[in-house]
A and B are shown apart, each in its own frame.
Chain A
Amino acid sequence: MAKRVGMEVAVAVAEAVGQCDIDMAAVYPITPQSHIAEHLSDLVADGKIDAEFVTVESEHSAMSAVIGASGTGARVYTATSSQGLMLMHELLPIASGMRLPIVMGIANRAVSGPLNILNDHSDIMPQRDSGWISIFVENGQEAVDVSIQAFKIAEHKDVNLPVCVNIDGFQLTHMVEPLEFPDQELVDKFLPPRVPYATLHPSKPVTMGAFAMSDYFTEMQKAKDEALINSKKVILEVWDEWAKMFGRAYKPVETYKADDAEILMLTMGSMGETAEMAIDALRAKGVSVGLIKLRLWRPFPFEEIKAVLKAAKKLIVTDRAVSFGGPGGPVFSEIKSALYSEARRPAIYNYIIGLGGRDVTVKDFIGMVEKVIPCSAEKTVDTYEYWGVRES
């Protein structure tokens, strides 16, 4: 078993990417992703990994560069945050439409305005429909593991789609914590060289990113949708293989003390383990409560979510982003649509929490659960609440 070492998570993500035999990276630095960019460029400059680090003048160029390089058959990586991701937005559906297995780390950060550099999920949510596989990690170890798994998932012949790894900015990226790095030999075995479906090469011309009017556009969109839906099978296989090789299991939906719980709480990202502490404290007082942690955001794990929600009477969904003028937070909205066709479903409560880096503590999670205990389980509440917001 590999030795546990202490390392800042952003640096560890760059180390993990460095274990993946990448050919090229184009990363434009932005807080709180910067340490990924810096350390990855160090690894290249120090000759520790044999890759091109392309310096670019913006995130739009970073994504353009990795799209081009991926088209030639290269294994590529980029990473960004917040405004950087917003600037890339235009290119994200092009990357998925061209079926390029790009891997991107996102150090999740609030988008302006007002200007804020701290964590929430408002940067990834506007990218939801870009056709990327989107995975959230909960701690530094998952950030390391999933950054490696992402290449295998993306490059699988039945997938050929870009993958983004959501790593909460600051809460995770700036944390020094214990990590295990998989042995290089095992990573090489787990992740063989990319075998591209087609490559751009002057001596063997192909067209990528072709023009498609009404004659083909619908078919292309459906193909992309099916590829994304079907990628779940591969994701599950890859996670199985990872568990066998490295001993750490991954599931689209994780649960904690959820089996017999009347009240369930749902989190996504780095708050999961803090929420677990609240579950322990409430269980100790006799409250029947458990936790669901959503890891796979796209493709959305509808069946797994339905299965874990079968018995619960009440469900608290926490969202770290707002859908302005919409039906509540983006996760809440998804969970509600997952349950619409179910004959038996829990009452759902939605709390918007942790915006722009506002700390969410064990006490906050306990407070949310205690607030829904006296509510009637007969009907879902169609409104959402900004937890802890100051109104005056």
Chain B
Amino acid sequence: MIEVRWHARGGQGAVTSVELLAVAAISAGNYAQGFPSFGPERRGAPIAAFSRIDQKQIKVRSGIYEPDVVIVLDASLLSLVNVIDGLKTGGKLIVNTPKTPDEIKKDLNFNGIVATVDGTGIARKEMGVPIANTTMIGALLKVIGVMGLEAMKESVEHRFGRIAQKNLTAMKRAYEEIKISN
């Protein structure tokens, strides 16, 4: 089972992302959960959301405390939230930033695997908005590798209709442009 914790600010679409990912993973024949951190959320405040994907039925319904992957949609959170809290040994950190993985490693004094991509830059270019939640799904899929980008098509089209293609293009760019450290 792969467990992912998402960090974002309220309104940046992390909850939408965990839903899109879970729906797509289930359509592709996996078992999955997608859920927000339970409770009241405020626009702009730091929030978390969670994904679980497995090949077999997922029974556990408690929170995720030791994720395999942490994905950060807003790099300004790196100085506010301990995003690597509980990250498994050998776990991976993905950050939406124009910085290199090595720069992030240095910033956080973190020695594990870091992957970076300028998701906001891509989203701005491809969709005209600085909202990178769908873009960063591409980055996540590249890192976790449980399914290909094509698995996202149906759930993104269902959710976004005529602007789906722009989201898919941005997602593909993040998939291709992400840089992963050793």
Contacts and interface: CB of A to CB of B under 8 A. Distances in A.
Contacts of A49: none
Interface stretch (A75-83, A168-176, A370-378): A168-176
A357 interface: yes
B61 A273 contact: yes
Contact of B23 (A7, A270, A273, A277): A7
Nearest to A169: B38
Interface stretch (B28-36, B73-81, B84-92, B121-129): B28-36
A177 interface: yes
Interface in A141-183: 170-171, 174-178
A361 interface: yes
Nearest to A280: B59
B154 to A, nearest CB: 10
B62 A359 contact: yes
A194 B108 CA distance: 63
A6 B33 CA distance: 8
B3 interface: no
Interface string A186-222: 0000000000000000000000000000000000000
Contacts, number: 73
B130 interface: no
Contact of A361 (B26, B33, B36, B62): B62
B161 interface: no
Contact of B59 (A5, A273, A359, A360): A273
Contacts of B32: 6, 176-178
B152 interface: no
B168 interface: no
A103 B60 CA distance: 29
A362 B62 contact: yes
Contact of A176 (B19, B39, B40, B63): B19
Interface string A1-12: 000111110000
A270 B61 CA distance: 8
A118 B60 CA distance: 18
A230 interface: no
Given A118-B38, A176-B33, A177-B32, A274 B61 contact: yes
B27 A6 contact: yes
A176 B18 contact: yes
A276 B63 CA distance: 16
A117 B33 contact: no
B55 to A, nearest CB: 12
Most buried by B among A178, A276, A360: A178
B70 interface: no
A5 B27 contact: yes
B134 to A, nearest CB: 16
Interface in B1-27: 18-19, 22-27
Nearest to B63: A359
Nearest to B26: A6
Contact of B19 (A8, A170, A276): A8
A62 interface: no
Nearest to B25: A6
Interface string A276-302: 110000000000000000000000000
Nearest to A9: B35
A336 to B, nearest CB: 27
Given A176-B33, A176-B35, A276 B59 contact: yes
Nearest to B30: A178
A354 to B, nearest CB: 10
A123 B35 CA distance: 23
A171 B60 CA distance: 11
Most buried by A among B25, B35, B36, B39: B35
Contacts of B31: 178
A16 interface: no
B39 A117 contact: yes
Contact of A171 (B18, B25, B26, B61): B61
A355 interface: no
A25 interface: no
B52 to A, nearest CB: 9
Contacts of A276: 59
Given A175-B35, A176-B33, A178-B31, A6 B60 contact: no
Contacts of A357: 38-39
Interface in A339-380: 357, 359-362
Contact of A174 (B23, B36, B58, B65): B36
Interface in B32-74: 32-36, 38-40, 58-63, 65
Nearest to A365: B62
A176 B34 contact: yes
A203 B58 CA distance: 55
A277 B59 CA distance: 7
Interface of A: 4-8, 31, 117-119, 170-171, 174-178, 270-271, 273-274, 276-277, 357, 359-362
12 contacts: A5-B23, A6-B27, A31-B40, A118-B38, A118-B39, A119-B38, A170-B39, A271-B61, A273-B61, A274-B62, A357-B38, A360-B62
Given A171-B61, A176-B23, A176-B34, 5 more contacts: A4-B26, A6-B22, A174-B35, A274-B60, A274-B61
